[in-house]
Amino acid sequence: MAKPRDIRDVVEEELLDDNLVDAAAITIRDINGKVALNGTVQSYPQYLEAAAAARRVAGVTKVRNHLKVALPPEDCRNDAMLTAAANDALVASGVAPDGVEAIAKNGCITLRGTLKYRSQCAAAESAVSGLTGVRGIKDEIELIFDVDCADVNRLVQKALRSHSVPPDDSRVAVNASGNTVMLIGNVRTKPQRDAVVDAAWRGHGVMAVITEIEITG
């Protein structure tokens, strides 16, 4: 019976086969599926890709990425140049107008500001991660959870249409303040009312729903 292959060996092969990573200076440790990557790579995208490659290996339960980014001299940028490039990249990505700015220090970019969705934070990191001169990214973006009234209204109207068959005179308006949503209007049946309320709760940032909906029958 063949002996199971050591996870460290499989991770090493995965890294060597990955064309996006120069694994020459990477060492690997494995303790019961918990893999640690040590050593250096020449860019931040390689830093990210090395960890992604390790996670692809069956049996790996956790990856600790201790790699250092050792930039070639020609890829180094001073703080002012990298800060400007990062903020330009955020503007081009469409994230910066929503309230994010970048500040670079010794090759590490710190992202600060406020956004509504975690996916926007990931988009901001992605926008700057491939820039020449980046050694690391620190995410200090705050998530704000004020209700998006348009989003809640879309959900409510969709629920109302799907439960008004055939169409009737049901009408529901959405008002939002902070994390609270107020629903005002009239519906024909209790299932319509319940569907609308459930839809409102699915809105981003909603922590309270006040219902002033009349059931007309």
pLDDT of 4:
52
Top CATH class, 149-215: alpha beta
pLDDT of 30:
94
Domain boundaries, the chain: 7-69, 73-143, 149-215
**If you average pLDDT over every residue of the chain, what do you get?**
91
Top CATH class, 7-69: alpha beta
Q: Give the whole-angstrom CA distance, residue 23 versus residue 14.
A: 10
pLDDT of 7:
93
Per-residue pLDDT band at 3 (split at 50, 70, 90): very low
Q: Give the whole-angstrom CA distance, residue 122 versus residue 210.
A: 33
Name which residue leads in pLDDT, 128 or 98. 128
Q: Give the whole-angstrom CA distance, residue 135 versus residue 76.
A: 9
Name which residue leads in pLDDT, 183 or 165. 183
- Among 86-90, 112-116, 127-131, the minimum mean pLDDT is found in 112-116
User: Do 7-69 and 73-143 have matching folds?
Assistant: yes
- Sheet strands (E) in the chain: 26-31, 34-41, 62-65, 68-69, 100-105, 108-115, 136-143, 171-177, 180-187, 208-215
Q: Among residues of the chain, what percentage have pLDDT more than 70?
A: 97
Please classify residue 50 by burial: count the beta carbons closer than 10 Å to its beta carbon, then call 0-12 exposed, 13-18 middle and 19+ buried. buried
pLDDT in tens, 40-86: 999 999 999 999 999 999 999 999 999 999 999 999 999 999 999 99
Global pTM reads: 0.68
Cα separations in angstroms, 74 against 69, 132, 173, 194: 14, 9, 59, 62
pLDDT of 169:
87
Per-residue pLDDT band at 148 (split at 50, 70, 90): confident
What CATH number should be reported for the domain whose range is 73-143?
3.30.1340.30
pLDDT of 2:
37
